[in-house]
Amino acid sequence: MKYNAALFDLDGTLIDSVYDLYISVNLTLSELAFPIASQKLVQSWIGNGIETLVMRALSGDMQISEHLDDALVKRATERFYQHYADQVGENSVLFQHVETGLSALRTIPKAIVTNKARQFTEVLLEKLALSSHFDIVVCGDDMVKKPSPVPLLFACEKLNVLPSETLMIGDSKSDVLAAQAANIDVAVLSYGYNQGETLSDYNPQYLCDNFLDIIPILSAR
């Protein structure tokens, strides 16, 4: 293949951050006298940015309730930001083989394209010593979020590569749909936060069970 650059999702792809998010969600829910949620449930809500995560938590479901009050959502989001600022990176870890894999791909231009807010992304990258592996970082509050293709195309422009020469590596439907809309090939990692979706249904170019599986894909010429 002819990939000259790689775009990576963050949560569920490089970093297992669910426990920090789980704690922050439940501190927020408890403050507002809402029922707390299980870690498994919180994990199923991750992937579309903080505002969506908070609304799913308030709804107690993946499907956001149409009856949520705007003032309540605003207050809950503000409280979540505060709690997550205190928690971010405290219990987050790299998924297996991520450090080894990124080191093996050190000569390939790389970007992170995440729906996570920049203030939390930068803390995580610093705490887990990932910053040096990436040329640019595109965050969810920089522009529109995935599944829009816009952040992926922006990353390609900054890396000075064509979308057709780029591989997106992610773990969710948002990653697949964003890549397809940008005409970028996509590799899906099965261990991440897939929101209960069977991602093979979305026809990604590659399905990988191990982070190291992406090395031969990106190394092939």
Which token pair is 179?
A: 């890549």
Q: Which of 43-52, 155-164, 182-191, 203-212 has the lowest mean pLDDT?
A: 43-52
Residues 6+ apart with CB under 8 A from 77: 50, 51, 54
The predicted-structure confidence for 34-63, as pLDDT tens digits, reads as follows 999 999 999 999 878 889 999 999 999 999
Residues 170 and 144 in one domain: yes
Residues 124 and 181 in one domain: yes
Do residues 155 and 136 make contact, with C-beta atoms less than 8 angstroms apart?
A: yes
Burial of 148 (0-12, 13-18, 19+ CB in 10 A): middle
Looking at the annotation, which residues are catalytic?
9
Residues 195 and 148 in one domain: yes
Amino acid at 151: P
Q: Which range of residues forms the domain containing residue 104?
A: 5-16+92-219
Residues 69 and 140 in one domain: no
DSSP state of 11: B
> Structurally, how many domains does the chain consist of?
2
Q: Which residues share a beta bridge with 11?
A: 15
Do residues 111 and 89 make contact, with C-beta atoms less than 8 angstroms apart?
A: no
The predicted-structure confidence for 106-144, as pLDDT tens digits, reads as follows 999 999 999 999 999 999 999 999 999 999 999 999 999
Residues 146 and 159 in one domain: yes
The CATH number of whichever domain residue 113 belongs to comes to: 3.40.50.1000
Residues 47 and 108 in one domain: no
Residues 115 and 144 in one domain: yes
Q: Which residue has the tokens 């010593």?
A: 129
Residues 97 and 126 in one domain: yes
Residues 40 and 12 in one domain: no
